[in-house]
Structure 1
Amino acid sequence: MRTVLFITSLFVLFSCAKQRMINRLEGRWNYSKMLKNNGEYVYHSEVYEFTGGDKDNDAGFPFVIYGQDTIQGVYRITKKNVIKVTEGSETEIDWLVEDIDNNSLVFRVAEGVVFLDKQQ
């Protein structure tokens, strides 16, 4: 009985963590810079717009990248700190969230570390 209760409570906590991440991501973010793996900074002027919703949506949630081109994609929260992103028809990319608060999001991709700042 204790085991069932323990497993149920872990599931509830994990589900709450996914919903908190979705709620924090919702809105518009300025993609300000990327620290590449070779130590070089690359500056960007794109805007990422994430749409939120109910965590039980297995298909994912839409997001749009506004830059020179407008790119539409889908994101899903799979683990506590992993966001799976599909831009257009490309393959799925894992974003490993290093830090997130109300005003900033820092995540790691294969090329380096990306810094996003929340628009007010």
Structure 2
Amino acid sequence: MKEAPVMTRSERAPIPPNQAPLTTGPVPPPAPGLSEPTASLLSALERHIDRELGPLREGVEPALAELRECLGALYPAAGGRHPPPAQQEEYRARVAGLMDFLEDNLEALQRAARARRLPDASGRGV
């Protein structure tokens, strides 16, 4: 089996404006119950999803809510308690599954959102 070459960021094409780093825009307040780094990353992900999908975000909101819950258990805010190791493994498995689900569904929803923004052949919007 042939392996794909690994490229560093400098070898890749420039990042298009709609895929700029996730730290742009106003920073929403951190999600309650999450550690600061985790809350910041989750907020950045949600901003990116909002920017790309707009109202189609509703299609992944249940998965995002479950992701918030799992991350809150794995990375609690200061003073929070971590679950026992066995339960941590269950949360990690759920996070991995959710990330796979989100990746597949976000790609499909992103294509649908872009199709809505592109005019059809007659010049009218879709």
Q: TM-score, normalised by structure 1?
A: 0.23
Greater percentage in helix: 2
Greater percentage in strand: 1
| Larger gyration radius, structure 1 or structure 2 | 2
Q: TM-score, normalised by structure 2?
A: 0.23
